[in-house]
Structures are given as C-alpha cells and as structure tokens.
Amino acid sequence: MADFKDFNFKLLVIEKLMYGSKALVPAYSIDERMRARGIEDVQNHVFDNDLAFTVLDESRAFFEELEISDELLAGVDELLVDGGHQVYYECSPVWDGEDDLFDVRSLDDLALLPNLERITCIAELHVPGAPEILAARGIAMD
C-alpha cells in the first residue's frame, strides 16, 4: 500500500477516487459519523467547539489511515486542484477556502501515481518549482 508524504496531496487523490469516480468505497461522511455520536448539526458543533478552519481529528485519522491500493492509484490519470472539493468539507465542514489549510506542500507523492497525465488548476498548487517538476515527469498542466 502507498505511503503518502503530503496529507493534502493524498486528499486530492481521495477526492478523485472516492467522490469523483467512486472507485474508493465506502465514501466517508463526517455528517454520518457525527450523527452516530448524537451530533445533528455538524457546523454548529464545529463553531461551538472552536474547531472551525481546522481538519477535524476524526477526519484526519480516517484519511491518514485509509489505504489506497496500487491498482486504484494506477487508475488516476488526472487531478483537479480546487477549493470546492467534497473531501475538504468532510475534513473541515466550515472551511471557506480563504487560507492555506489544504495547500499541497510537496509533490513527492507523484511517484505513487504512475499514470498521472494532467493536473488542472496548477495555479492553486503552492509548491516551489511545481511547473518544472510536473514538466519533467511529462504531466500536463492547466
């Protein structure tokens, strides 16, 4: 199983596989998990407990421990970098996209995606030298 170095890069991959192609199942739902704990309004719970604009511990633990098979990783040919991803809601239900909470800091995990051909919204990647790193791997950028 793959060992990701950058949690936020892994979230991009999870977005593609779990919420995009739905190849990685079952889909994680913070709303369902909170309801199971008796919390009906996740957003109020987050605000009331000063958890806004952070990755909830429960979500971080789930996604960090989530194993993604090499077969699924090999099926990833494109990634989209976008602040509106479902996986971001599942991690931080009130996040507004106005900070660096989900910024990818490293592209070391590119090696885990042998068939990656394109990354869309490259301007949203905040990795020094990202265009050069991607070009060297033959990955198209938009």
pLDDT tens digits, residue range 81-105? 998 999 999 999 999 888 999 999 9
What pLDDT digit, counting tens, does each position of 102-117 carry? 999 999 999 999 999 9
Residue 61 in any domain: the answer is yes
Q: Residue 91: what are its φ and ψ, rounded to 5°?
A: -90, -40
Residue 2 in any domain: the answer is no
Residue segments in the chain with a per-residue pLDDT below the cut of 50: none
Q: Looking at residue 123, what is its pLDDT?
A: 67
- Kindly tell me the sign of the dihedral angle through the C-alpha atoms of 3, 130, 27, 45: positive
Taking alpha carbons only, the member of 23, 45, 22, 21 closest to residue 33 is: 45
Cα gap 10→91, rounded to integer Å: 13
Residue 58 in any domain: the answer is yes
Q: Looking at residue 103, what is its pLDDT?
A: 93
Cα gap 20→120, rounded to integer Å: 14
Q: How many domains does the chain have?
A: 1
- Domain assignment of residue 36, given as a range: 7-141
Residue 1 in any domain: the answer is no
Residue 33 in any domain: the answer is yes
Question: Do residues 32 and 89 touch, judged by C-beta distance below 8 A?
Answer: no
Phi-psi region of 80 (alpha: psi -120 to 50; beta: other; left: phi over 0): beta
Cα gap 1→43, rounded to integer Å: 34
pTM for this prediction: 0.95
